[in-house]
Chain A
C-alpha cells in the first residue's frame, strides 16, 4: 500500500488523550486537507506523523513502511518532511544557512542543486541570502520555510497552517504556486483553519473536532460553500 496510512491513532499524555482513535489515509500524490477549529488536534496529528510526538497506540505507515513512534530524524530520512506551524526558521542563522540545514547529511552536490532551485523559485531569498532569517517579514519567512521543504525533496509533505498570520493575498499566492513547487508524486497533507483556501487546492479533506474525525469528504462538494462545514467544525 502506498501513501500515508494512519490506523486507530491515539495520542495523549497520562490521562489526557488528545487524539482518540483516528483513521485517515492519503494516497500517493494526493492532496488532502486536515481542517478543524483551533485546538481540535490537527497539529498534534502532524507532530505525531513527523515524530515529534509519540502515539500511545495505533500505526502510521508510509509507502508500506511502518514509521510509528520513530525518532524525528529517522522519519526525515524516509522523506517525510514537516513544515511546522509558525514557520520556525532559525532566526540567528542567515537565509542561506537556513537552507543548508534543510540539506543536513545529504552532501554538497544536493545542496548546490537545491539552492539553485530555491533561489530560482524565490528570488527574494537570493537577494537576502546573508541576512538573518529573524529579520525577514512573515511572508518571506514562509517562503524560506517552503524553500527548505523544496530542498529536502519530500515524498510526503506535511504543512501546518501555512496561512497563519499572513495577508490573504500572500496566502493565495502561496497556495497557487504549491502546484509548481512540488511535483505530482509528492503526497501532501495540509493543516488549515482557512477552509476555503484549502478546499480550493485539495482533492479531499478531513474535519477534526476534539481529537476525532468529524467529517470526511471530497473538496469539490464544498468548494463553493465552505460554511456548510461550520457544523462539523463547531459541533453544533
Chain B
C-alpha cells in the first residue's frame, strides 16, 4: 500500500495564496448579498406596486405577507431547529393583543408596539421552549399543542387584556405620530417588516447559529459532540421564533381590525403549519410560497371557501404521503433533475485515495505541543444488570496513538461514551490534560478538547460535506449571535476564514471535490471520512475514533488510518482508536489495550498483545 502525495505546491510555491484549497474547489466565499436577496428585492418591488394597482385585494395581500412572516418565524423553530411546535400562534395572539392595549392605553404607535411585542413574545417563547430540554419530539408537540390551546382559554378569561368574546379592536395605525390609513399602506408596511425579518433570519441561517440549529435538528448527539450547546439553542429557537411571530401579531390585528382569542386557536395553528408543509419548511422561500397558496386559493371561489377546512385537511394528508418538502422542495428536485440532464454529474465513486499533506499555512496553527493526556479512573457503566464497563482504568500519554480492541460487546464503545458523556449513569473519573471532565455535559467536554467519531456516523443528512467541516469549526468562530443577525463585518471575516480552513481540512481528507454534496447522497466510505473531518475540525486535544475503518475495503481502511496518523503527528493531539481489524491497529498504534466483558484484558504493544493467549482465546474462542 502506498500513500502518494497529490501534486500540491501549496507549501512550496510562494505564489500560492492561503485560500488555495478553496479556489481549487471553486467554493464561493460568504458574502453580504446572496441570490435570495435579489429574489426578495424583486418580490418587494412587485408587491409594492401591485398593492397600488390591485388595491381591492389589499386585505388578502397584507394577510399573505403576514402569514409569510409567521411562516418565517415558524421556520426558525421547526425547519431550522427541528422542534415540533403546534401552538405557534399563541405568540401571534400575544403580539396582537399587546398591540391593541398599547395603542389604547398609551396612545403609542408601531414604533412602540413592535419592539414590545417582540420582547414579550420572545420571553414567552423562551419559556415555552423550556420543556424541549426534557422531552423528545413527539411529547413536545403534544405539550405545545396543549399550551397553546389552553393559552387561548386563558386569554379568553383575561377580560382586561383581550375583552374576551367581544373582541379587542386594533388601535389606529401610526408610526411616531404619523397616522396611516389601512389598505395599501398597511400592505407596504407589512412588506417592509417582511423584508427585515427575512433579512435577519436569513443572516442567522447563513451563520453559525443556523448551522448549529440544522445540526441539532439532524443529529443532536453529534451536534453536542462538536461543542454545540444544544439545550440553549433549542430554547433560543423558540424564543426567536416566538418573537418574530409576535411582530406578525401586531400587523395581524391591524389588518383584521378586531381580534378575539379564538382567532388564534387550533385552526390558525394548523393553517400556519400547512403554510410550511405546502411551501417547504427548510427554505425561507417556502414561507412565502406557502402563504400565497394558503391565502389565495380560497379567493378563487366561494365554494372553496366553504369547504376550506376539509380541503386543508385533505391537502395535509396528501402532501404528507407524497411530498414532505413542500412546493419549494419539489421545485428544487426538479431543478436538480434538469441540471443533471444538462450537465450530468459523474456517479460518485470510491475513487483513488491519496495521502495529503496538512502543510497548508492556514492550518499551521493546528500544530501544537503534545496534548491529550487522558486519565480514566475506575469507569463503570451498567445497563439493567449488565456491566458493560466494569472498572476500567488506564492512562494515555499526551500525543500518543493508542488502539482499543475487543470482541463484540466487550464494552469499547460504551467506554468511549462514558468518556465523552454520551451515556448517563457512568461513574468514574475522567481527566483530560489535567482538567476533570467527570460529570460534565457532552458539549462541555467537547469544548475541553474531546473530539470523537461514531460507530453509526451520526451525520447530518441533508447538510453538505463543507457544512460538516464548518460545524467542527463552530467554536472558533467566536462572534456573538446578535452580530450574526446583522451580519456585521467581523462576522463575515470570521466566516470567510472558517470557509478557507474548512476547505483545507476537506483537502486533507480527500473530500474537497465533494464539498457541496449532501452527505446522505454519499457512499459509505466517503461518509466515514466526513465523520472524521468533522471531529478533526474541532482541533481536539484527543481524538476518539470509533471503528473508523469498519465496513471499508482493505485499501481504503489503510488510507483512513494513514490520514489519522498524519493528523496526530502534525498536531500533537492524542488519538484513541477502537477497531476490530487488529492488523490495521498494529500498523498505527504504539500501544494496544484489549477489552473483554467490560474489563481490560491486556495492555501493551501490538505484538505482545496479539501473542497473548488470553487475547486469542477471547477473540476466537477456545
Contact = CB atoms under 8 A, between A and B. Distances in A.
Nearest to A134: B384
B621 interface: yes
A226 B581 contact: no
B39 interface: no
A235 B581 CA distance: 8
B620 A165 contact: no
A144 to B, nearest CB: 14
A210 B621 contact: no
Contacts of B621: 192-198, 226
B550 interface: yes
Interface string A83-126: 00000000100000000000000000000000000000000000
B182 interface: no
Given A38-B408, A165-B597, A210-B553, A196 B620 contact: yes
A133 to B, nearest CB: 11
B407 A233 contact: no
Q: Give the residue among A134, A192, A226 with the most B Cβ atoms within 10 A.
A: A226
A227 B583 CA distance: 15
B583 A164 contact: no
A195 B619 CA distance: 8
A37 B551 CA distance: 11
A234 B581 contact: yes
A231 to B, nearest CB: 10
A64 interface: no
Given A39-B580, A234-B583, A193 B523 contact: no
Interface in A175-234: 192-198, 210, 226-227, 229-230, 233-234
Nearest to A43: B408
Contacts of A37: 580-581
B524 A16 contact: yes
Given A37-B580, A196-B622, A227-B620, A161 B385 contact: no
B206 to A, nearest CB: 29
B386 A39 contact: no
B551 A15 contact: no
Contacts of A138: 385-386
B446 interface: no
A226 B618 CA distance: 12
Interface string A55-68: 00000000000000
A91 B386 CA distance: 14
Contacts of B520: 14
Nearest to A200: B621
Given A194-B621, A226-B621, A210 B551 contact: yes
Contacts of A236: 583
A7 B524 CA distance: 25
A154 B98 CA distance: 69
Interface in A136-166: 137-138, 161, 164-165
B396 interface: no
Given A16-B523, A193-B407, 4 more contacts: A15-B523, A165-B409, A227-B616, A234-B582
| Closest 9 pairs (CB-CB, A-B) | A196-B621, A194-B621, A38-B408, A16-B524, A15-B523, A39-B550, A226-B620, A236-B583, A195-B621
6 contacts: A37-B581, A137-B385, A193-B407, A195-B620, A234-B581, A235-B581
